[in-house]
Chain A
Amino acid sequence: MPSVTLSLNQRAALLSIVMLVVGLLIWEAAIPAQKAATELTEYERLMGLGEARAGVPPPSQVIAKAWEQLSNPFYDAGPNDKGIGIQIGYSIYRVLSGYLMAALVAIPLGFLIGMSPVAYKALNPFIQVLRPISPLAWMPLALFIIQDSEASAIFVIFICSIWPMLINTAFGVAGVRADWVNVARTHELGAFRTAFTVILPAAAPTIITGMRISIGIAWLVIVAAEMLVGGTGIGYYVWNEWNNLDLTSVIFSILMIGVVGMMLDSAFGLLQRTVAYVE
């Protein structure tokens, strides 16, 4: 018998598939079959149990739902019935706008804090107090001041993604090796060229790590924020389907949140690899 040697990755992939299949089978088997209406007693029928009961759906139904939704992701049949693609699109739009604004503030400010010990010490107390605030705690204030639920959601994303980027940028910039800065000094580079040709590439891996943490947090927060502000977005979709008692859609959208989050994270993982260097 020829021996088959699988690589580590192949064995891991095989194991993943086995776990997925076993998990789905257990889930499928654990859902009790609903009684047919003819087998119900008079009392049960009076209690309304003849209706399709809202139970946790089996994976087969979720897969069917996923197929149905993903084969037409961008349909728009009114405010409460939009395709999953449209909902996710709204969420990504909000995350990216809040996130980009945060990056525009956090990275230059982090540079300043990292370069100047005075600025670091002066701003540190504010950062330490503002950072642990749950982003959703800002929501009422944002709604009152901004007077617009859409912009408030973006503001919440802004405020939650700013901290990891700010702190990592400051940390990365402050940690640039003195030798490299001395190279810039002995080559008479001005402040701007030093910042762009020496400090930025030296601190880039730390900065991108901060950006990666931020995008993760932003994606976590957008779901909660959209449940609050409503209207559109994947968070609203989950909540709306819960109100519709459509648990199949709830489970499907939970999975979609995970998949999109993973894709955002891998995009930054890719970026991280391109700026990485070995000392």
Chain B
Amino acid sequence: MSKPYLSIERLTQQFPDGQGGTMTVFENASFGIEKGEFVCILGHSGCGKSTIMNILAGLAEPTSGVVKMDGFGVSGPSLDRGVVFQNYSLLPWLSALKNVIFGVKARYPKWSRARVEEHARQYLAMVGLEGDVVHRKPSQLSGGMRQRVSIARAFANHPKLLLLDEPFGALDALTRGTIQDELLKIWGGTEQTVFMITHDIDEAILLADRILLMTNGPFARVAESVEITIPRPRDRTSIIEHPNYYAIRNHLVQFLGKRSKELSGKPSEGQDQRPETVRIDLTAKEDSQPDPDSDGAPRRLRAVND
């Protein structure tokens, strides 16, 4: 079997528990992400999502395990892996434009000043920031605008992998909706591979090709990989009418509400912890194999990943 574009292999993170022992956040976690895929990871607080994110970004070292991108092991932060943080992480002494230029200059040090600026302006325009607004400092921008700048900075650098750490967590629901749409638009034009942490089920369904579900920690694991069988382009008002929407949503809610607890706390005992692929597709009923359970519950067609 061919390796996925981004391959996380037997990743383990342990911390000292303060009493001389160790606390295992997750153990032997293994999963992959294909090129151009948009993957969201959902799970309760403390399950280690952010730790995985920091390891992928190169800002933290795992206790053991490797991350391979395009066949090469990665270590340390790199321009190939762009990060959008929840708190925007804009440099407050630079204007919005200069913040994006800061990133572009780091990525393309040989470009002329004019080219760097034009490129930065182009990406700011993609997230709807044009005109005088780009000369404002982050403190003079609303939370939504700051996150737009942060997204523009990340996309402008064309990273091989874009990591989004709860990018909309600090925004109000309406702003969040608008920026989700913008993210979808900008992502649609770039074939960018995206890995995103979120707490918002609807956001994950709207954005993702696949949702990874994590059980609670300690000994958390990526238990399931749920395919979002809703065709793109998606639209927040029309996806809820798609027959698969509530089936998928119910599955996710049920996992986070119940099974994330039931499945937690089990050491891996040296086994690879690979997520089980879950495909829920009510529209494909006619050409799927006869369904054994027909008790009205949402149909799940399961296939093991490898």
Instruction: Report which A residues bind B (CB closer than 8 A).
Output: 179-180, 182-183, 185-189, 197-198, 201-202, 204, 275, 277-279
Task: Write out the residue numbers on chain B whose beta carbons fall within 8 Å of the beta carbon of A201.
Answer: 91, 93
5 further A-B pairs in the complex, CB-CB below 8 A; given A182-B57, A186-B78, A187-B103: A179-B89, A180-B89, A180-B91, A182-B83, A186-B77
Q: Is B107 an interface residue (CB 8 A)?
A: yes
Task: Write out the residue numbers on chain A whose beta carbons fall within 8 Å of the beta carbon of B87.
Answer: 179
Q: Separation in Å of the A202 CB from the closest CB of chain B?
A: 7
Task: Write out the residue numbers on chain B whose beta carbons fall within 8 Å of the beta carbon of A275.
Answer: 93
Name the CB-closest residue of B to A187: B106
The 10 closest A-B pairs by CB, nearest first: A278-B139, A187-B106, A277-B93, A185-B77, A179-B89, A277-B92, A186-B77, A201-B93, A186-B83, A188-B79
Task: Report whether B85 and A179 are in contact in the complex, using a CB–CB cutoff of 8 Å.
Answer: yes
Task: Report whether B137 and A278 are in contact in the complex, using a CB–CB cutoff of 8 Å.
Answer: yes
Q: Is B43 an interface residue (CB 8 A)?
A: no
Instruction: Report which B residues bind A (CB closer than 8 A).
Output: 57-59, 77-79, 81-83, 85, 87, 89, 91-93, 102-103, 106-107, 137, 139, 157
In the complex, A53 Cα to B79 Cα: how many Å? 81
Task: Report whether A187 and B89 are in contact in the complex, using a CB–CB cutoff of 8 Å.
Answer: no
In the complex with contacts A188-B78, A277-B137, A277-B139, A182-B103 CB distance below 8 A: no
Task: Report whether A183 and B89 are in contact in the complex, using a CB–CB cutoff of 8 Å.
Answer: yes
The 25 listed contacts between A and B (C-beta, < 8 Å) are: A179-B85, A179-B87, A179-B89, A180-B91, A182-B77, A182-B85, A182-B89, A183-B89, A185-B59, A186-B77, A186-B78, A186-B79, A186-B81, A186-B82, A186-B83, A187-B79, A187-B157, A188-B77, A188-B79, A188-B106, A189-B106, A197-B102, A277-B93, A278-B139, A279-B139
In the complex, A279 Cα to B87 Cα: how many Å? 11
In the complex, A204 Cα to B107 Cα: how many Å? 26
Q: Separation in Å of the B49 CB from the closest CB of chain A?
A: 17
Task: Write out the residue numbers on chain A whose beta carbons fall within 8 Å of the beta carbon of B139.
Answer: 277-279
Task: Write out the residue numbers on chain B whose beta carbons fall within 8 Å of the beta carbon of A180.
Answer: 89, 91
Task: Report whether A182 and B106 are in contact in the complex, using a CB–CB cutoff of 8 Å.
Answer: no
In the complex, A185 Cα to B54 Cα: how many Å? 12
